[in-house]
């Protein structure tokens, strides 16, 4: 755990592999997770609408097993957002991160 799902506008000016690596390494850097359990993937959206002057977006969903403290979730959010800032530079993008608790009683995997 966690599952890091990067949703993003289709036409970014950065390589998606670089984006995935930055988010994945950001999660590792928090030392909240066993690095062997971090799973990161990206989904591109061709159709979306944004308000304001942003020309695209990146949103990271961090699905984690419930039980982490608010301080740990805040550390994860801040670290991943900083990773996005580093990889995106001055791109006019809407950037966001949100941790979601997975309930261990109903989360199943093989």
CATH of the domain at 96: 3.30.429.10
The pair of three-digit structure tokens given for residue 92, joined into one six-digit string: 């006019």
Q: What's the total number of domains in the chain?
A: 1
Checking if the pLDDT of 107 tops 90, the result is no
Q: How far is CA 58 from CA 7, 37, 40, 65, 78, in A?
A: 6, 23, 14, 23, 14
Domain span holding position 102: 2-106
What is the pLDDT, as a whole number, of residue 89?
A: 87
What is the pLDDT, as a whole number, of residue 53?
A: 77
What is the pLDDT, as a whole number, of residue 28?
A: 98
Strand partners, 41: 5
DSSP state at residue 103: P
Helix (H, G, I), strand (E, B) or coil at 47: coil
In this structure, the number of other CB atoms found within 10 A of the CB of residue 45 comes to: 12
Omega of the bond leading into 2 within 30 degrees of 0 (cis): yes
pLDDT tens profile 33-72:
999 999 999 999 999 998 887 789 999 999 999 999 999 9
């Amino acid at each position: 755990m966690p599952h890091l799902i990067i949703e993003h506008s289709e036409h970014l000016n950065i390589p998606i592999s670089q984006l995935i690596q930055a988010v994945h390494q950001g999660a590792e850097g928090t030392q909240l997770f066993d690095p062997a359990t971090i799973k990161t993937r990206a989904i591109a959206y061709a159709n979306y609408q944004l308000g304001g002057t942003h020309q695209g977006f990146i949103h990271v969903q961090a699905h984690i097993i419930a039980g982490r403290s608010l301080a740990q979730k805040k550390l994860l959010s801040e670290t991943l957002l900083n990773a996005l800032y580093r990889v995106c530079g001055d791109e006019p993008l809407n950037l966001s991160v949100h941790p979601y608790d997975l309930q261990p009683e109903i989360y199943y995997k093989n």
